[in-house]
């Protein structure tokens, strides 16, 4: 736990100021994972407006429609509510990977929780008749 707090303090100290971005345009893709504490389920993330947040499993990520569901040693897993097809909202599982080097952006992978619509394949069945047995009775 002490190691996590040390890493979080270092991450906060290394944060550089950037131009502010309005909160209503924040996306999960704009989050950068600074530190991950898999043992206690906490993570330090930097939002697009360069603010640092210490979050735990179950917390909403600031300015987004996402909730943290898991904290791993290499990635943060969130569930994001997105507008789905039609009027129903959908949920996507999003992996936000910790950058390989300090100062880089996090890599984001999205997984859809909804299966794609089934494809309907219409087929026509044709019965082949042997012309030599056309008048013969079936066995």
Identify whether 132 is part of a domain.
Answer: no
Structural domain range at position 11: 2-114
Domain membership flag for residue 71: yes
Residues 6+ positions from 51 with CB-CB distance below 8 Å: 62
pLDDT tens track for 91-139: 889 999 999 888 889 999 988 666 566 777 677 777 777 777 656 565 5
pTM of the complete model? 0.62
Residue 37 covered by a domain: yes
Measured in whole angstroms, the distance separating CA 64 from the mean position of its chain's CA atoms is 12
Q: Domain for residue 137, yes or no?
A: no
Segment 28-34 shows an average pLDDT of 90
Cβ-contact 82, 90 below 8 angstroms: yes
Structural domain tally of the chain?
1
With respect to residue 130, please indicate whether it lies within any of the assigned structural domains. no
């Amino acid at each position: 736990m002490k190691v996590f707090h040390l890493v979080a303090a270092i991450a906060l100290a290394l944060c550089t100021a950037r131009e502010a971005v309005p909160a209503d345009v924040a996306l999960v893709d704009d989050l950068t994972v600074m530190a991950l504490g898999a043992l206690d389920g906490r993570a330090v993330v930097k939002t697009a407006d360069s603010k640092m947040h210490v979050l735990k499993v179950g917390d909403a990520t600031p300015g987004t429609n996402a909730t943290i569901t898991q904290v791993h040693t290499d990635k943060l897993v969130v569930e994001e509510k997105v507008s789905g097809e039609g009027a129903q909202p959908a949920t996507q599982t999003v992996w936000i990977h910790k950058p390989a080097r300090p100062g880089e952006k996090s890599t984001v992978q999205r997984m859809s929780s909804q299966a794609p619509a089934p494809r309907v394949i219409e087929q026509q069945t044709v019965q082949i008749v042997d012309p030599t047995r056309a008048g013969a009775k079936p066995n």
